[in-house]
């Protein structure tokens, strides 16, 4: 009888392992590229795009932003970024409000963060580690300046069979969490409409600020 | 033997079910994507998926809305906006003018001098947090830079092969040490001129001042303040492009909340390392 039980346990274990292997195989097959490949490809492309001289030309500003956005959307899922930044209230918003917020937030992020990448362009980026758990992954990188090291973590999720970035954490500061703390202040006693207006106003202000700087330069 | 056969069959059945399940999950995931045109997916397909995995992701950011107690919010906000105004209206223009007048190299020397002088703060806190390798590194750097580097103006150890990196980054002050000892922030505080802080970090800041040689100099309050201002202007002049404060506040719709969140998370990371 002992032998039977022993065998049973062994079989059970081997079949469990097989199931696990199959499951892993299935999830790996969903995304051809690893999360790290995706992050590397995305940052390389954006840096390349941003280092082109046309990017700094005010006359071609709109075209440059449009191109930047097209490229960024291949690697960053802005809808997820917006959704997690808004938090729970997102689920109660109308589809129209959700897409309006996403659109406004994309514009804000393009102007405030993406355009700043060239300032970090000269430094070396080291891809350190990749951690995958189910449909989520983290990619750890180090950006090395002359005497400074900045630790940047990218968070990804499988969307439409591809790893998409939904958060960037620099020195422990998560972009999504940072915006969630701000949005929460607004949504605590305000409406989604007010939040949308605040984001749009901010975009407008940044655009105006740039105009002033361009004028003072010329 | 019959028992074994039966178990065998049972296991086979289990395995088949498991494979089918994995297959279904896989294909349903794929078809979910394949069938929906992108626009449709935005509104119908994704809505269900979004609420389904929302809780899972919500855990990741669950602490965002109550990261630190802030009972003195209005007091803090007053100083925060004063500091922000000082940054844009005074410190930044002064640093810009200073950077225009003085070439980078002398400014780097000045920064090195102040960094070297704060050696006791890093050394003592490295010892207190058990970072002995970092304490050793700091000591050897201090000895070499103070002597050969002429009072620390030159950083002669930078980029040398012997300037290895300690296993954990060197300590940055008593606030970090207290955090490692398990002390919480208490409440969030913003000080005029100094910026974001908390009860713990304020205690740390005062202790660090006791380890700062500048405190023991024969200086009046005004002279002391002037040196501090000069030190900050000098540091800022080397970070005019792409500095963290501007990157953070430019895109913020609520600067105050953005800086509070970033400060607390950055300190948490420092305590962790």
Q: pLDDT tens digit string along B250-260?
A: 889 999 999 99
- Please give the residue of chain A at the shortest CA–CA distance from B250: A112
Contact A169, A84 (CB under 8 A): no
Q: Over 90: is that where the pLDDT of B243 sits? A: no
ipTM associated with this complex: 0.77
- Please give the residue of chain B at the shortest CA–CA distance from A16: B15
Nearest Cα neighbor of A170 from B261, B187, B82 is B261
User: Residue B183: CB partners within 8 Å, gap ≥ 6?
Assistant: B200
In this complex, the residue of B15, B29, B251 whose CB is nearest that of residue A109 is B251
Write out chain A's pLDDT in tens, 218 residues. 556 556 655 665 566 555 555 555 445 445 678 899 889 888 888 877 777 777 666 677 777 778 888 888 999 999 999 999 998 889 889 999 999 999 999 999 988 877 666 555 566 788 988 999 888 899 999 887 766 788 899 999 998 889 999 999 999 999 999 999 999 989 988 999 999 999 999 999 888 876 555 444 43
Residue B269 lies in a domain: no
Cβ distance of B64 and A181 shorter than 8 Å: yes
> Which of A112-126, B73-87, B165-179 is the least confident region?
A112-126
Mutate to test the interface with A, among B19, B30, B64 (most CBs of A within 10 A): B64
In this complex, the residue of B11, B25, B257 whose CB is nearest that of residue A185 is B257
Residue B235 lies in a domain: yes
Contact A184, A176 (CB under 8 A): no
- What pLDDT, on a 0 to 100 scale, did the predictor assign at position B31? 36
> Which of A22-26, B188-192, B219-223, B239-243 is the least confident region?
A22-26
What is the 8-class DSSP label of residue B173?
-
Cβ distance of A202 and B251 shorter than 8 Å: yes
The average pLDDT across B53-64 equals: 70
The average pLDDT across B68-81 equals: 93
- What pLDDT, on a 0 to 100 scale, did the predictor assign at position A31? 63
Residue B173 lies in a domain: yes
Containing structural domain, residue B190: 2-33+68-240
What is the 8-class DSSP label of residue B72?
T
As a whole number of angstroms, the distance between CA B107 and CA A8 comes to 74
As a whole number of angstroms, the distance between CA A11 and CA B7 comes to 9
- Residue B153 backbone phi and psi in degrees, to 5: -65, -35
As a whole number of angstroms, the distance between CA B62 and CA A184 comes to 12
Contact A82, A167 (CB under 8 A): no
Q: pLDDT tens digit string along B132-151?
A: 888 888 888 888 888 887 78
- Please give the residue of chain B at the shortest CA–CA distance from A29: B26
Cβ distance of B265 and A147 shorter than 8 Å: no
Cβ distance of A202 and B22 shorter than 8 Å: no
User: How many structural domains is chain B composed of?
Assistant: 1
Residue B111 lies in a domain: yes
Tokens of A147: 């005497």
Residue B230 lies in a domain: yes
Residue B169 lies in a domain: yes
Per the listing, tokens 């430019």 go with B250
Contact A161, B33 (CB under 8 A): yes
Q: Which residues of A134-148 are buried (b: 16+ CB within 10 A; e: fewer)?
A: ebbbbbbbebeeeee
Residue B114 lies in a domain: yes
Q: Over 60: is that where the pLDDT of B215 sits? A: yes
Residue B139 lies in a domain: yes
Mutate to test the interface with A, among B13, B251, B263 (most CBs of A within 10 A): B251
Contact A130, A138 (CB under 8 A): yes
Average pLDDT, chain B: 80
String of DSSP letters for A19-84: HHHHHHHHHHHH-SS-HHHHHHHHHHHHHHHHTSGGGG-GGGHHHHHHHHHHHHHHHB-HHHHHHH
The average pLDDT across B92-100 equals: 94
Cβ distance of A4 and B25 shorter than 8 Å: no
**How many angstroms separate the CA of residue A41 from the nearest CA in chain B?**
23
- What pLDDT, on a 0 to 100 scale, did the predictor assign at position B130? 87
| CA-CA-CA-CA torsion sign (B148, B153, B154, B158) | positive
- What pLDDT, on a 0 to 100 scale, did the predictor assign at position A140? 93
The average pLDDT across B7-36 equals: 46
In this complex, the residue of A15, A111, A178 whose CB is nearest that of residue B261 is A178
- Please give the residue of chain A at the shortest CA–CA distance from B256: A182
Cβ distance of A4 and B50 shorter than 8 Å: no
Question: To the nearest whole percent, how much of chain B has pLDDT over 70?
Answer: 76
Q: Over 50: is that where the pLDDT of B35 sits? A: no
Cβ distance of A22 and B25 shorter than 8 Å: no
């Amino acid at each position: 009888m002992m032998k039977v039980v022993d065998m049973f346990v062994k079989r059970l274990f081997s079949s469990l392992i097989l199931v696990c292997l199959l499951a892993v195989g299935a999830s790996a097959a969903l995304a051809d590229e690893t999360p790290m490949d995706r992050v590397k490809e995305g940052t390389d492309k954006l840096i390349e795009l941003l280092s082109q001289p046309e990017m700094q030309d005010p006359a071609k500003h709109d075209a440059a932003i449009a191109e930047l956005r097209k490229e960024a959307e291949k690697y960053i899922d802005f809808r997820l970024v917006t959704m997690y930044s808004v938090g729970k209230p997102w689920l109660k918003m109308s589809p129209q409000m959700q897409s309006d917020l996403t659109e406004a937030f994309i514009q804000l992020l393009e102007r405030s963060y993406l355009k700043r990448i060239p300032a970090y362009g000269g430094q070396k980026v080291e891809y350190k580690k990749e951690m995958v758990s189910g449909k989520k992954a983290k990619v750890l990188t180090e950006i090395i300046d002359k005497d400074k090291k900045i630790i940047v973590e990218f968070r990804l999720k499988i969307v439409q069979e591809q790893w998409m970035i939904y958060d960037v954490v620099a020195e422990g500061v998560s972009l999504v969490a940072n915006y969630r703390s701000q949005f929460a202040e607004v949504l605590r006693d305000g409406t989604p409409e007010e939040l949308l207006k605040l984001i749009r106003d901010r975009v407008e202000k940044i655009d105006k600020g740039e105009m002033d700087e361009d004028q003072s330069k010329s | 033997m019959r028992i074994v056969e039966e178990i065998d069959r049972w296991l086979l059945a289990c395995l088949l079910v498991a494979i089918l399940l994995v297959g279904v999950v896989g294909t349903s995931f794929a078809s979910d994507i394949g069938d929906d045109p992108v626009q449709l997916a935005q509104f119908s397909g994704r809505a269900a998926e979004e609420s389904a995995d929302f809780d899972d992701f919500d855990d990741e950011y669950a602490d965002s809305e109550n990261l630190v107690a802030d009972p003195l919010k209005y007091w803090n906000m007053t100083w925060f906006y004063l500091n922000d105004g000082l940054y844009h209206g005074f410190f930044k223009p002064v640093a810009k003018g200073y950077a225009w007048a003085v070439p980078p190299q002398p400014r780097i020397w000045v920064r090195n001098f102040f960094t070297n002088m704060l050696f006791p703060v890093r050394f003592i806190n490295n010892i207190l947090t058990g970072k002995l390798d970092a304490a050793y590194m700091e000591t050897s750097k201090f000895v070499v830079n103070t002597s050969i580097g002429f009072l620390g103006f030159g950083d002669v150890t930078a980029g040398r092969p012997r300037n290895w990196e300690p296993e954990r980054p060197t300590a940055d002050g008593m606030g970090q040490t207290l955090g490692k000892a398990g002390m919480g922030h208490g409440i969030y505080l913003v000080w005029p001129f100094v910026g974001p802080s908390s009860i713990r970090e304020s205690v740390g800041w005062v202790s660090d001042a006791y380890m700062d040689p500048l405190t023991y100099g024969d200086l009046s309050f005004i002279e002391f303040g002037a040196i501090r201002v000069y030190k900050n202007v000098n540091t800022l002049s080397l970070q005019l492009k792409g500095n963290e404060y501007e990157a953070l506040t430019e895109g913020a719709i609520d600067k105050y909340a953005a800086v509070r969140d970033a400060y607390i998370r950055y300190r948490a990371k420092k305590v962790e390392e």
